[in-house]
Amino acid sequence: MNAVLAAPTRSFTRTLQRHGIALARTPLEILQVNLTARCNLACTHCHVESGPKRHEAVDARGITRLIELMDTAPALHTLDLTGGAPELHPQFRELVRAGRARGLKVIDRCNLTVLFEPGQEDTAEFLAAQGVAVVASLPCYTPENVNKQRGKGVFGGSIDALLRLNALGYGTSGSGLELDLVYNPIGAKLPPSQALLENDYRQRLHDDFDITFNQLFTITNMPIKRFLHELERDGELDAYMQLLIDNFNPRAALGVMCRNLVSVGWDGGLYDCDFNQMLGIELGHARTTLWDIARLDEIETRPIAFAQHCYGCTAGAGSSCGGSLA
């Protein structure tokens, strides 16, 4: 069992109860798909444990079923593509086109350097032509911190990719092409204020590289998978869990992303979020796949499967794929 799930800390669900919070689903608005575990990078904090040697991916049957189900949830407005590096999936573009043809906002969770991988030479242009929103991870505006977390040379590649996206109109006013950046702390601490850090990023990236972007999302490192192993190795797991628990924020809890999102895994399994997916905690604790449902909005009546790592979403200002919550 995952060390965090087994830890004798205060139960997350009991904490919700103590605060009088009953978290039910709201209408399904976001369909998030982990297209592939493959990635050109292998970051130290990666909760997917992605890397160049991983090859799990949604198969062609799964892509067809996803496209069919996009029409079966009236409140659905966003198709959120993640991985690994989603661009490396052979049907990435087909799925993007299908989402855009239905009027959905399509998000590409892009690690930036993938845009320079062989076979990806025209990906940036494709994203711009389709009006895809790019959410790009950049854990710092200095080379030292980025290279430490993501690998040697990644900072330089990320800056080159941001410049290329800016040249296509991304992150520039009036273009309609959204470019958001994602920050996560390096080490066992909570993110700083999203608004203040966004100002720092804006200033530094502008002054140093003439780069512009729309928003910065701060995300808390989840005590699971690769980051969990790091915490255990460094003897910091208990202190980090305590930090998350001590900073439980009821207002953040009300906004957790599992209320209006469903996460789809490589095998077509459905999950409350991709953290649960990586831990093998199935949707509301019941194995459900793309083929077990007739409509996507069927899941709106399902319970949500909470566990101890959920404290990572509710600590401080809260954390989600769209940044802080409170």
Q: Residues interacting with ligand SF4, by CB under 6 A?
A: 39, 41-43, 46, 48, 50, 83-85, 111, 137, 256-258, 272-273, 275-276, 304, 306, 309-310, 313
Of 67 and 321, which CB lies nearer to ligand SF4 in the complex structure?
321
How near is the Cβ of 74 to ligand SF4 at its closest, in Å?
22
Of 67 and 275, which CB lies nearer to ligand SF4 in the complex structure?
275
The residue type at 207:
D
**Contact of 269 with 287, CB cutoff 8 Å:** yes
For the chain, state the CA radius of gyration: 19
Helix, strand, or coil (residue 124): helix
Of 139 and 171, which CB lies nearer to ligand SF4 in the complex structure?
139
Q: Can you say whether the dihedral through the CA atoms of 247, 250, 255, 261 is positive or negative?
A: positive
Query: Which of these, 174, 184, 99, lies nearest to 136 by C-alpha position?
Result: 184
Query: Which of these, 169, 187, 186, 189, lies nearest to 178 by C-alpha position?
Result: 169
How near is the Cβ of 271 to ligand SF4 at its closest, in Å?
8
What count of residues does the chain have?
326
Q: Can you say whether the dihedral through the CA atoms of 219, 1, 244, 255 is positive or negative?
A: positive
Q: Which residues on adjacent β-strands are paired with residue 79?
A: 31, 106
Strands 261-264, 270-271: pairing is antiparallel
Query: Which of these, 113, 88, 99, lies nearest to 165 by C-alpha position?
Result: 113
The rounded distance, in Å, linking the Cα atoms of 287 and 267 is: 12
How near is the Cβ of 52 to ligand SF4 at its closest, in Å?
9
How near is the Cβ of 202 to ligand SF4 at its closest, in Å?
23
Max CA pair span of the chain: 53
Of 211 and 310, which CB lies nearer to ligand SF4 in the complex structure?
310
Of 43 and 161, which CB lies nearer to ligand SF4 in the complex structure?
43
**Contact of 57 with 35, CB cutoff 8 Å:** yes
How near is the Cβ of 214 to ligand SF4 at its closest, in Å?
20
Of 48 and 264, which CB lies nearer to ligand SF4 in the complex structure?
48
How near is the Cβ of 174 to ligand SF4 at its closest, in Å?
30
How near is the Cβ of 100 to ligand SF4 at its closest, in Å?
23
Of 42 and 245, which CB lies nearer to ligand SF4 in the complex structure?
42
